[in-house]
Chain A
Amino acid sequence: MTATVTPQVRPNRRRRRAAGSTSATQRTIYPSWFYLPAAVLYLVFFAVPTFASFYFSLTRWTLFDTEFIGLENYVQFFSEPQLSRGFVNTLVYGFVTSGAKVVLGLALAVLLTSQLVGRGYLRSVVFFPVLVSTIGVGITFKALLDPFDGVVNTMLAAFGIDGPGWFTDPAQALLTIAAVDVWKGLGIATLIYIAGIVAIPQEYYEAARVDGASRWQQFRSITLPLVQPATATVIILSLIGGLRSFDLIWATTGGGPGFTSDVIGSVIYKQYQAGFYGLSTAGNVILFLVVTAVMVPISILLNRKEVDR
């Protein structure tokens, strides 16, 4: 029913706004109803659930009834003893993986844009881990890094090195997962950097060489500043990914041992699993706000730099 009503209402509103003549609407070349399917999909699958989740985070609900309890879920969520640890871990994980992807991604991209034998092949090899399912990667690494029967520690033992308990040592677990995450996600960062480097006109390098600039000076003064947009993209993508990471952590340690590698995402998941739906909805709203609070300033900062250039 709504489908038949909305088309009549929407175009009118559209037209009125068009009459108000903002430059943006004047430039549009499509009729308003053209946007309708996308708008409906957006409303049904994104806008409505988002606002519904704001409401449900204020209730204690089961699948069949809800009880409005105000902000109690938020109070409860913040008093969760495992949360402070999860919060710190989330930030550590987000910034460590993001930083490593920027540095390693750029280094690999410089390597893979140079005159190299088998360059195309190497490029695809770097990208392959991205194509593998995260859960599969997690389970594989869990087997490889098993402290007692795993391939890695068995090999280390052959050289007389006592390998650490990668996923089972509380001090080590989170960093091990971060390392696996970097291995898996590095391909995307490298790809973005390759595109950024290839887009830099060769004339700059030729001019620099004429002036006698060394390789390092060329990198410092030409490549690095001119891949700034690529760096911004890599940072934003990997930081968002890192802050809301969950799947790899769940597949490898489940947040353990104990709570030592818990992040906000896994804390929320465990609450949902236990049937505390209201509480975990509140947790998701908070995660949304945290990611926004971290990302908006970073994104503004990076974009401003780009414009300044």
Chain B
Amino acid sequence: MSHVMRERSIRRRAAVAAAAVPLLVLAGCSSTGAADGTTEITFLTSNDAPNPETAEALAEAFEAEHPDVSVTVEIRPGGTEGDNLVKTRLSTGEMADVFYYNSGSLLQALNPDSSLVDLSDQDWVGSLTEEFVPVVSTDNGTYGAPLGASFAGGVVYNRAVYEELGLTVPETWDEFMANNEKIAAEGDGVAPVIQTYGETWTSQLFVLGDFANVLAIDPEWAEQYTAHQRSYAEEPALLGFQHQQEVAEAGYFNEDFPSATFADGARMVAEGEGAHYPMLSSVVQTIVQNTPEAVDDIGFFALPAAEAGNTRATIWQPNALYVPRSTEGAELEAAKEFVAFVNSDAGCEIQNEMLPPAGPYAGTCELPEDAPPLLADIQAYFDEGRTANALEFLSPVKGPNLEKVTVEVGSGIRSAEDAAAFYDQDVENQAKQLGLEGW
């Protein structure tokens, strides 16, 4: 899961964390190897629904195919708490034989060269997309196999509202604002833009989802940002903050934006109470669960740039499965087989069923035929080559307070310029903690 996604479940995590403690204690004792000839391996996943359910389904199907291996699923909390747990267990050699974790900058923080098993000799590696390989690799090896599909960050919108008002998908920011104006004027109470600051992570999409547009203007931006040569206080990156301010000042948000939650936002866009929800396309998983009859009404477009030629979709790569160095011998073989199984036909079937894809797969799996139509919208950006990875897959620099700052911009507490400068200062701590050069 991306940084953004991780934030979402913090509250749920708090509740599950308590339940997870006994499991973790048990995990310490459940070392591998059994007397009766079967190999026992453990699989550590995170507690966000539907991850535990998916893990159980995968383990069960794998055991059916490999009667001599048994897989025990362990559950960990997510967020920073989960990060610390993964790092601690890796460093003390107590890590589960297979574990599920972020790709991109968070993976790099695990020091994969010394802590993980290089999987680059596995068959499935050849099927990985070229966007995915770098986010699970170092110069010395490839360490992760994708679990779940990628997803896009942009505007999730209600097609029925668009049809009713005769709107077309905007390619430029001005067109987007014109659509908002028309919805506000003729939409009969439909909120042009949905914001849900009851869960602060949802406020970041104007900035994070605009990143592909930044790269379209300045292809060097991510590397230069890591080297402290670019900042959010300057264009083009500043535009994301400014756009959010513009929409807020125009009064286009739903009335209850200060306290609405992510689930409220999903429901509003699904039922047409709001027209646009700047969000990750994976919100469709929530919609499938809560308002399945509305799934066909949901579409997606990239956050529009100032010029149509620069409008791109920002893509989040899926999380991955890893095998730690502490796993050896028969367990290592079983762990590799399990990882391969997840990306086999049988594994893909389970992924399609348990984790409805909200974007293209990064490996062998193929999208189901009954995939939500929003997927076709996203696929179109891929087909046209108009996508780029989110910043967190290209640079390790991310400050912890972005979501607070974007709430302030959306609530009119702080101006876009101020907020961008604030955020530039906020990331300094992260860069220093990572020991990056130039900070």
Question: B-contacting residues of A (Cβ < 8 Å)?
Answer: 60, 62-64, 67, 76, 79-82, 146-148, 165, 167-170, 254-260, 270-271, 273-276, 278-279
Contacts and interface: CB of A to CB of B under 8 A. Distances in A.
Contacts of B87: 62-63
Given A63-B88, A64-B91, A170-B413, A257 B429 contact: no
B79 to A, nearest CB: 8
Interface in B91-144: 91
A146 B197 CA distance: 13
B32 interface: no
7 contacts: A60-B433, A63-B88, A82-B401, A257-B413, A258-B414, A259-B404, A276-B429
Contacts of A275: 80, 83, 433
A274 B429 contact: yes
A254 B200 contact: yes
The 7 A-B residue pairs whose C-beta atoms are closest, nearest first, are A258-B408, A168-B258, A274-B400, A148-B256, A273-B80, A258-B413, A258-B407
Nearest to A139: B11
Interface string B394-421: 0000011100110110010110000000
Contacts of B405: 258
B401 A257 contact: no
Given A170-B411, A257-B413, A258-B411, A146 B429 contact: no
B45 to A, nearest CB: 22
Contacts of A147: 256, 258-259
Nearest to A69: B432
Contacts, number: 80
A64 B428 CA distance: 22
Interface of B: 79-80, 83-84, 87-88, 91, 197, 200, 255-256, 258-259, 399-401, 404-405, 407-408, 411, 413-414, 422, 425-426, 428-430, 432-433, 435
A148 B259 CA distance: 8
B345 to A, nearest CB: 40
B432 A257 contact: no
Given A258-B411, A260-B413, A273 B400 contact: yes
Contacts of B407: 256-258
B432 A76 contact: yes
Question: Which of A60, A165, A168, A276: most chain B Cβ within 10 A?
Answer: A168
A256 B200 contact: yes
B256 A274 contact: no
Contacts of A146: 259
A275 B401 CA distance: 13
A82 B91 CA distance: 34
Contacts of B399: 274
Contact of B422 (A81, A255, A278): A81
A257 B84 contact: no
B404 A255 contact: yes
Contact of A63 (B84, B197, B411, B426): B84
Given A147-B256, A147-B259, A256 B433 contact: no
B166 to A, nearest CB: 31
Contacts of B255: 148
A258 B404 contact: yes
A259 B408 contact: yes
Contacts of A270: 400-401
A256 B429 contact: no
Contacts of A169: 258
Question: Which of A60, A258, A271, A276: most chain B Cβ within 10 A?
Answer: A258
B195 to A, nearest CB: 12
Nearest to A267: B401
